[in-house]
């Protein structure tokens, strides 16, 4: 898939998440207030934060789409994990606030919420689980950290709404069974929602920070790149290959060994072929910096070649000048020694 097609599809997924979260935030907020469900109101606040998070994802995708420039020669791929960090922090703040309000409500008199709250919670579970599966599939397909973070957020919402459904349903059942104490299951469900949200926020933030800091592909993941470089004519050995991740793509630093007798221009042509092979063969490789080393040989090999070159040079001079040369003599303290 081309870079343009990738960003177009990822942006559509982000817009889908924004639309769904706006709808859920409005519906859950209205029904939560009308039905008197603290858990559903907390879930509405969670959805409202998701709207901001989805907007951050969308903005991050658009920024990552920009081509390299003078200040960002390796591109803007890290805008995606930065967007994922923003989403994570927002989710973390919401989780703390939901936990605080739920704990406070546990020590106050409570009435059971209306049945409408349970219906909305059940519908939210179904919708959010569907969004999770769709976003996860496309996030993996596009290798988008922002979409994968958004998918985890959808799953967290589905689990949180499941807790809301159980809490609200239990409170309603308690009222009908003459057990008013069960009305506190509603704020208990809100507290469970907070725990789910905080857990997801931690996972998202940990992954986003990891992706933002420079790190390279593991050896097993980079092995296919190494094998591709080895197949380039003129490459005698791959001394080192590091593939640095920049969001959804990588920038490769590779050191190759070539025949040391080649000219600078010939070595440069091999380096160009290596870069072309990496960029053209692997869609996730944005750029490659190739360093050329002379292939190491044994000292005896170099001495033998040097001696042959010296003899050839001496023979050439003799032929050109029509003068016969005599073996050179070197001296030391014990007298003359013939070579």
What CATH number is attached to the domain comprising 284?
3.30.70.1350
Selection from 127-131, 299-303, 313-317 with the highest mean pLDDT: 127-131
Distance separating alpha carbons of residues 118 and 126, to the nearest angstrom: 13
Residues 278 and 312 placed together within one structural domain of the fold: no
Among the candidates 148, 180, 212, a domain finishes at 212
Same-domain pairing of 177 and 310: no
Percent of the chain with pLDDT over 90: 19
Q: What is the DSSP letter of 181?
A: G
Q: Which two tokens stand for residue 39?
A: 């858990």
* DSSP states along 50-117: HHHHHHHHHHHHHHHTSPP-SS-TT-STTHHHHHHHHHHHHHHHHHHHHHHHHHHHTTS---PPPHHH
Q: How confident is the model at residue 26 (pLDDT cuts 50, 70, 90)?
A: very high
Choose from 7-21, 31-45, 231-245 the range with maximum mean pLDDT.
231-245
Same domain, 44 and 189: yes
Per-residue pLDDT at 257: 93
206 to 82, 152, 155, 278, 311: CA distances (angstroms): 12, 13, 17, 30, 66
Q: Do 99 and 185 fall into the same domain?
A: yes
| No. of helices (H) and no. of strands (E), the chain | 9, 5
| Same domain for 17 and 71 | yes
Is residue 87 within 8 Å of residue 14, measured between CB atoms?
Answer: no
Question: Which CATH number do you get for residue 134?
Answer: 1.20.1510.10
Of the candidates 87, 56, 81, 6, the residue with the CA atom closest to the CA atom of residue 246? 81
Average pLDDT value for residue range 165-184:
83
- Are residues 278 and 154 part of one domain? no
Do 76 and 38 reside in the same domain of the chain?
A: yes
Same domain, 46 and 141: yes
| Shared domain check, 66 and 8 | yes
**Same structural domain, 133 and 237:** no
Residues 125 and 247 in one domain: no
C-alpha triplet 310, 312, 317: angle, nearest 5°? 95
pTM over 0.75: no
- pLDDT tens for each residue of 205-243: 887 777 666 667 778 888 999 999 999 999 999 999 988
Question: Residue 333 sits in which domain range?
Answer: 299-338
Domains identified in the chain, total number: 3
């Amino acid at each position: 898939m081309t870079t343009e097609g990738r960003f177009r599809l990822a942006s559509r997924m982000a817009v889908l998440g924004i639309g769904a979260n706006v709808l859920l935030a409005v519906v859950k907020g209205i029904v939560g207030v009308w039905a008197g469900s603290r858990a559903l109101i907390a879930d509405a606040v969670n959805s409202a934060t998701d709207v901001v998070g989805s907007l951050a994802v969308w903005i991050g995708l658009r920024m990552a789409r920009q081509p390299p420039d003078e200040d960002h020669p390796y591109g803007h791929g890290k805008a995606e994990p930065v967007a994922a960090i923003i989403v994570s922090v927002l989710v973390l703040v919401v989780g703390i606030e939901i936990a605080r309000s739920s704990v406070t409500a546990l020590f106050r008199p409570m009435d059971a919420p209306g049945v409408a709250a349970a219906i909305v919670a059940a519908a939210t579970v179904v919708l959010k689980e569907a969004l999770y599966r769709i976003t996860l599939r496309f996030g993996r397909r596009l290798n988008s950290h922002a979409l994968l973070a958004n998918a985890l957020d959808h799953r967290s919402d589905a689990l949180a709404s499941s807790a809301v459904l159980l809490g609200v349903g239990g409170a309603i059942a308690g009222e009908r069974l003459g057990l008013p104490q069960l009305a506190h299951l509603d704020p208990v469900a809100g507290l469970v929602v907070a725990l789910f949200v905080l857990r997801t926020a931690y996972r998202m933030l940990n992954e986003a920070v990891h992706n933002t800091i420079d790190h390279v592909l593991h050896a097993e993941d980079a092995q296919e790149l190494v094998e591709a470089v080895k197949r380039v004519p003129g490459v005698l050995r791959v001394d080192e290959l590091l593939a640095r991740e920049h969001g959804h793509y990588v920038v490769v630093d590779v050191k190759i060994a070539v025949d040391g007798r080649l000219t600078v221009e010939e070595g440069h042509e091999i380096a160009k072929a290596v870069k072309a092979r990496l960029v053209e063969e692997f869609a996730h490789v944005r750029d490659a910096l190739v360093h050329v080393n002379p292939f190491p040989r044994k000292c005896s090999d170099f001495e033998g070649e040097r001696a042959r070159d010296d003899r050839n040079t001496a023979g050439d001079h003799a032929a050109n000048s029509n003068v016969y040369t005599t073996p050179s003599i070197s001296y030391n303290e014990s007298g003359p020694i013939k070579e």
